């Protein structure tokens, strides 16, 4: 039903000038226009003090109200009729003559974590750097994770996102509401639980403020008022008002209304988070203001009042000092250095330590086509990555522009890594770049790389020199046509000038090169090898002689990038070839493990010669609101045994200890059991030794070993009998009950505490997995806990669902590995279910970490081709090697892309 207009006057709606403020004001006006189509509205942008000074903390500007005072002054002076505010910016006491006329329905009030490095706050490593402009967030984050470094950061959302990269932060904590209103929800890595960070008073809500005597406008706004939201924010604002907590006080509150009942939770902390008071009340929504006041009184009685009294006088200066200390990232006027870095021939293991060190602290990385994209993962997330790749027939950026680009970036005081395939001075035009930069006063450092001229033949089993056969080697470019009128290469001298010739970038001119060498004296029967994509699992080698190699290359469609080796040393390939004889060489294998825990499996597969793609199907999330874990931590030393069924269980339990200010001593005399070697290694990483690891890495075997240890007087426990002993099992929420059931059947008192849960990879942020026989795959010799992936884009080998489907349809996958039942189930689900996956997986070997995972696939109608006997990553890789070398080919193999 349309509303009547407010007379015939135009309603002037005041807003701040930020994109977010305008967007939410436009939303309000749009709703009013729907309700009253005849009414005229006009937006009036009012610049506030908070907007004018964006490089200081709010405490230095006067705190709460810095974004509303000018709007309220415009209301009072009749310059606008309606002011639209973010309610959290409004003071609890409004100026005389103004009133809060309506509060529209609130959007999600929670905070969110944004990061290009990590998928969750929990996954940020020790001493990680988090940006925020709120003392409330700082205090709660410090209380939850005392190790974190909190960096003050202000500005609109665009500015904060840029600062995250420029300051090299691990992430930002912001309000979800602003991102949602701007349509930027896809940038969120994690919605932070209010159990970790309680929102600001009024966060997520809008406040529509008018002059108190404007009856017509009040009636016009009433349909926008949401009673439940109004009750919730009324309680929150009453809570803040009673505390008299100004801008310097870390105060948070969240009211939620359901079925006429209001639940209100409030928090007060000191700025360092060392002391934090938190409590909740519940009552009728109609008594919202009274509930807010009562909750504040309860916290004041607990001692929060002392903190609030101490904070205000000194907090402003203290915060300004912190802000100044956090103002990092400024560039000096002096130019930065350009590092001409050789990236090697392709195998990431051939990158030098110096090159890796420079990548890890680069501001800018300028890289070529032949530089392995995985190297970009080592560069900071804030670093600018610029592709200037060159192919034989196409240059994405001409050389003169590359030169100017390097100089421009360095002139800004940035440290620039120019990453070049192979060695920068071996046909890499590094000399030209160095000369150009030095002429302009730009410092240059050259970091030699392993040249493909030597490494690629070596990976093909060809030594470029061999005693008694070849005592000299010449490296030359094959890029130019030797038949042109005045070639730069003296082919007459080259043909006879060295025992071994290595030509780079010469495949397209191969017929002319072979003819020129024969014409100038090389015998036609001289052995020749062509090696494409050398040092990688895609490596292909074609051999022949000067007389027939060009024709063989044509028939095989053998194109660049390739190295040409000419000379008798080529014959040694049959004697000492090694790389292409690796057990999994060239096999294309998909890993379904979580991104964080894929590294151990991927590394072993690649060492065996496989070409690996990662398609994570699971993640883990810590269970933060976890009273059972809190209780277990409080009496940890009372347990006879503490049992870990996964590496993740170790990591998340340890993080819970850290949050409580505890360390390894909290375990007291309790003995520790681990389901497998990876879990034992995870314990060792924290200085804890596993007292028991079963021979078989399954829940059933662990239960049997524990009962034997507890029941044998001469056994590990030595106490004579399992009955009545108390055992803590730290596990995944989805863990099988076999372990707990077996222990309880023997009379053991078991506290089974879920410390994390496994979720589908696409369902939300998280980390790794569990173990064979429990909830995931720790017995698969997992890496020990959530570790952050770095880099600014999709890591090499990490594929999307669409890309995976394309690979399967093109028969480009030889095997898929499964390290838990959850990886198998979620993998099939990602392909549309078992029936939809069946034709895609025809001819693909399904490899399982153990029989439980295999049974999951069998239940879906699939027959695993590989089942590891030893339920570890090493055992899975060994089983795959046996499958590959035993002739069990998985379908027709086409060349790897």
Query: Would you name the residues annotated as active-site residues?
Result: 88-89, 136-137, 154, 160, 247
Name the β-bridge partners of 365: 385, 417
Burial class (CB in 10 A: 0-12, 13-18, 19+), 122: buried
What φ, ψ does residue 665 adopt, rounded to 5°? -65, -20
Chain Cα centroid distance, residue 834: 29
Query: 10 Å Cβ neighbour count for 561?
Result: 20
| Residue 303 per-residue DSSP state | I
Query: Residue for token digits 């052995």?
Result: 527
CA-CA-CA-CA torsion sign (195, 198, 204, 210): positive
CA distance 219 to 585: 76
What φ, ψ does residue 76 adopt, rounded to 5°? -60, -35
CB 120 within 8 A of CB 192: no
Burial class (CB in 10 A: 0-12, 13-18, 19+), 47: exposed
What φ, ψ does residue 818 adopt, rounded to 5°? -130, 125
Beta strands in 400-477 (DSSP E): 416-420, 444-447, 473-477
Per-residue tokens: 483: 């038949």
Q: Is the peptide bond before 561 cis (omega within 30 degrees of 0)?
A: yes
Burial class (CB in 10 A: 0-12, 13-18, 19+), 93: exposed
CA distance 214 to 212: 6
Burial class (CB in 10 A: 0-12, 13-18, 19+), 55: exposed
Nearest to 721 by CA among 710, 732, 730: 710
Query: 10 Å Cβ neighbour count for 274?
Result: 12
For residue 151, give Cα distances in angstroms to 53, 57, 432, 530: 18, 11, 42, 54
Angle (CA) 246-251-254 rounded to 5° is 125
Query: 10 Å Cβ neighbour count for 186?
Result: 6
Query: 10 Å Cβ neighbour count for 260?
Result: 11
């Amino acid at each position: 039903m349309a509303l009547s207009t407010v007379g015939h006057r135009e309603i002037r709606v005041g807003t701040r000038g930020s994109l977010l403020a305008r967007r939410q004001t436009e939303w309000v006006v749009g709703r009013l226009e729907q309700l009253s189509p005849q009414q005229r509205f006009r937006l009036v942008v009012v610049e506030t003090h908070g907007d004018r000074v964006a490089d200081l903390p709010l405490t230095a500007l006067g705190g709460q109200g810095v974004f509303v005072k000018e709007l309220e002054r415009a209301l009072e002076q009749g310059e606008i009729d309606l002011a639209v505010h973010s309610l959290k910016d409004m003071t609890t006491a409004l100026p005389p003559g103004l009133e809060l006329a309506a509060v529209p329905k609130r959007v999600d009030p929670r905070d969110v974590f944004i990061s290009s490095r990590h998928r969750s706050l929990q996954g940020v490593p020790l001493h990680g750097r988090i940006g925020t402009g709120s003392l409330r967030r700082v205090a709660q984050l410090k209380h939850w994770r005392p190790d974190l470094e909190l960096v003050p950061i202000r500005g609109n959302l665009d500015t904060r996102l840029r600062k995250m990269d420029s300051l090299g932060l691990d992430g930002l904590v912001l309000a979800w509401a602003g991102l949602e209103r701007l349509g930027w929800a896809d940038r969120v890595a994690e919605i932070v639980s209010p159990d970790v960070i309680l929102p600001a008073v009024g966060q997520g809500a809008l406040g529509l403020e008018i002059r108190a005597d404007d009856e017509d406008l009040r009636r016009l706004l009433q349909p926008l008022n949401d009673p439940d939201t109004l009750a919730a924010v009324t309680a929150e604002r009453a809570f803040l008002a009673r505390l008299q907590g100004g801008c310097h006080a870390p105060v948070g509150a969240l009211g939620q209304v359901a079925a006429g009942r209001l639940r209100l939770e409030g928090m007060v902390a000191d700025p360092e988070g060392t002391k934090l008071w938190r409590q909740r009340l519940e009552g009728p929504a109609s008594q919202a203001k009274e509930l807010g006041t009562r909750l504040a009184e309860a916290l004041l009685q607990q001692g929060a009042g002392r903190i609030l009294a101490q904070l205000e006088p000194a907090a402003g200066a203290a915060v300004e000092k912190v802000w100044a200390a956090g103002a990092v990232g400024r560039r000096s006027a002096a130019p930065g250095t350009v590092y001409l870095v050789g990236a090697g021939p392709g195998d990431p293991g051939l990158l030098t330590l110096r090159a890796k060190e420079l990548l890890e602290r680069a501001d800018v990385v300028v890289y070529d086509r032949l530089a392995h994209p995985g190297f970009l993962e080592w560069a900071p997330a804030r670093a600018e990555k610029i592709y200037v790749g060159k192919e034989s027939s196409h240059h994405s950026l001409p050389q003169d522009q590359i030169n100017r680009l390097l100089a421009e970036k360095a002139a800004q005081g940035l440290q620039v890594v120019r990453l070049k395939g192979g060695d920068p001075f071996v046909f890499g035009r590094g000399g030209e770049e160095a000369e150009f930069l030095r002429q302009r006063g730009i410092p240059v450092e050259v970091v030699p790389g392993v040249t493909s001229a030597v490494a690629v033949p070596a990976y093909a089993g060809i030594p470029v020199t061999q005693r008694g056969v070849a005592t000299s080697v010449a490296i030359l470019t094959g890029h130019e046509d030797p038949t042109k009128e005045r070639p730069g290469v003296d082919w007459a001298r080259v043909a006879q000038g060295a025992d071994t010739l290595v030509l780079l970038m010469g495949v397209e001119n191969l017929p002319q090169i072979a003819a020129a060498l024969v014409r100038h004296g090389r015998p036609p029967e001289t052995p020749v090898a062509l090696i494409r994509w050398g040092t990688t699992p895609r490596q292909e080698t074609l051999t022949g002689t000067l007389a027939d190699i060009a024709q063989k290359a044509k028939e095989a469609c053998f194109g660049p990038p390739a190295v040409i080796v000419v000379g008798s040393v080529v014959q040694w390939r049959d004697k000492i070839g090694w790389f292409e004889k690796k057990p999994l060489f060239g096999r294309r294998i998909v890993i379904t493990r979580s991104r964080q825990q894929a590294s151990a499996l991927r590394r072993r597969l690649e060492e065996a010669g496989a070409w690996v793609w990662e398609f994570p199907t699971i993640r883990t999330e810590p269970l933060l609101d976890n009273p059972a874990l809190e209780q277990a931590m409080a009496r940890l030393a009372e347990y006879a045994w503490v049992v870990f069924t996964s590496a993740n269980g170790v990591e998340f339990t340890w993080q819970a200890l850290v949050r409580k200010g505890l360390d390894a001593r909290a375990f007291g005399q309790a003995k520790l059991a681990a389901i497998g070697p990876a879990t034992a290694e995870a314990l060792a990483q924290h200085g804890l030794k596993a007292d028991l690891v079963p021979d078989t890495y399954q829940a059933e075997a662990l239960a049997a070993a524990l009962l034997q240890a507890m029941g044998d007087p001469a056994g590990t426990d030595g106490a004579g009998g399992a009955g009545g002993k108390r055992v803590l099992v730290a596990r995944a929420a989805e863990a099988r009950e076999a372990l707990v059931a077996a222990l309880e059947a023997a009379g053991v008192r078991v506290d089974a505490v879920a410390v994390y849960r496994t979720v589908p990879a696409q369902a939300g942020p998280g980390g790794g997995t569990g173990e064979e026989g429990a909830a995931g795959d720790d017995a698969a010799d997992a890496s020990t806990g959530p570790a952050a992936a770095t880099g600014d884009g999709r890591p090499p080998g990490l594929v999307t669902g669409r890309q995976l489907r394309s690979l399967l349809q093109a028969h480009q996958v030889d095997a898929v590995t499964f390290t838990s039942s959850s990886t198998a189930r979620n993998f099939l689900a990602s392909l549309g279910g078992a029936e939809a996956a069946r034709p895609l997986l025809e001819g693909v070997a399904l490899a399982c970490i153990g029989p439980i995972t295999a049974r999951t696939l069998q239940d879906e109608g699939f027959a695993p081709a590989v089942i590891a006997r030893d339920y570890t990553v090493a055992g899975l890789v060994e089983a795959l090697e046996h499958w590959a070398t035993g002739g069990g080919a998985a379908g027709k193999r086409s060349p790897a892309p």
